[in-house]
Structure 1
Amino acid sequence: MASRNPARPLSPHLTIWRWGPHMLVSILHRVTGSGMATVGAGLLVWFLAALAGGEESYATFVDTFTVESGKLNVLGYIVGIGLTLSLFQHMMTGIRHLVLDTGAGYELRRNKLGALATMLASVTLTAAFWLYLGMK
């Protein structure tokens, strides 16, 4: 049983740490991984159910994620852009962790710069990807 000794040192809490980009990227890495798995599983189930449901239900699924004759489906774009941003953020943070695993980039300034670079790269890659899709 844990003792309630007031002289025992307390573990540091988030309130005493200064929030930085490296902390944000660490949390984003976990959130994007879990989010992609959850949303991806939901989309897979919906896709399989649409296939099993026949032509009409499959057409509804396809219409949600395609633009046809200028008809914009906002839900499809939100999910698509969100998943793309999550993918690139997760990938960039994974590359950052790979570099950190080699022992490089632990200096505070370089660590913060690397964290900011992951966020900038993920937004840039997402924008470039969707611009490329829009040009087709």
Structure 2
Amino acid sequence: MSTTPLPGDASHDPVTKAGDDQAGRFAAHPNGRARPLSPHLQIWRWHVTMLASILNRMTGAALSVGSVLIALWLLALAFGPDSYATFTGWMGSPLGLLVWFGLTLALFLHFAGGVRHLIWDAAVGLAPKTADALSWASIIFGIVGTVVFWAVLFASGRVVL
């Protein structure tokens, strides 16, 4: 059996001792070895495709919460006029409308992100400048689509404050 220390072994390698690391690049593991930390946002330059990816994940989670609200709406409808009136009273309030606006924004952003991914799955638009343009287009479409949708609702009188 060899007694040669493994790379990154904190007990034998003076360069990678977790206690001696002043830059915070290494972490001591339970086995005593110092392992490098995975680079994260400290080294990555922020760009729009990161934002679009993060927004797509966040909107997916928001839509999961929104599906619970849709289920509550259907339950209120099933339990009769009094339950339905209570639900629409809450969801028709300014706070409820803000929640619906946020869910609509999540829906439009997630839809646009899905279309962006379908385009990328076809191996189109993968060049950095084109990917950035597609990301901006999906974000702008999500915002503009939401505002237009709610403007139509308010203009038609279907939604009032």
Give aligned pairs, total. Answer: 127
RMSD of aligned alpha carbons: 2.2
Aligned residue number for residue 97 of structure 1: 117
How far did 1:26 drift?
0.4
How far did 1:61 drift?
0.5
Aligned residue number for residue 85 of structure 2: 59
* Identity value in percent: 41
Q: Aligned partner of 2:119: which letter?
A: V
Kept after mapping to 1: 8 A contact 2:73/2:84? no
Deviations 1:74-126 (A, max 9, x none): 11211111111000000001000111111111111111111111111111101
Specify which structure has the bigger relative contact order, considering alpha-carbon pairs within 8 angstroms and separated by 6 or more residues.
1
Structure with the greater alpha carbon radius of gyration: 2
Aligned residue number for residue 26 of structure 1: 53
Structure with more helix by fraction: 1
Q: Which runs of 5+ in 1 are unaligned?
A: 67-72
Q: Which runs of 5+ in 2 are unaligned?
A: 1-6, 10-15, 17-33, 157-161
Aligned residue number for residue 116 of structure 1: 136
Report which stretch shifted further, 4-13 or 117-126: 4-13
- TM-score norm. by structure 2 comes to 0.69
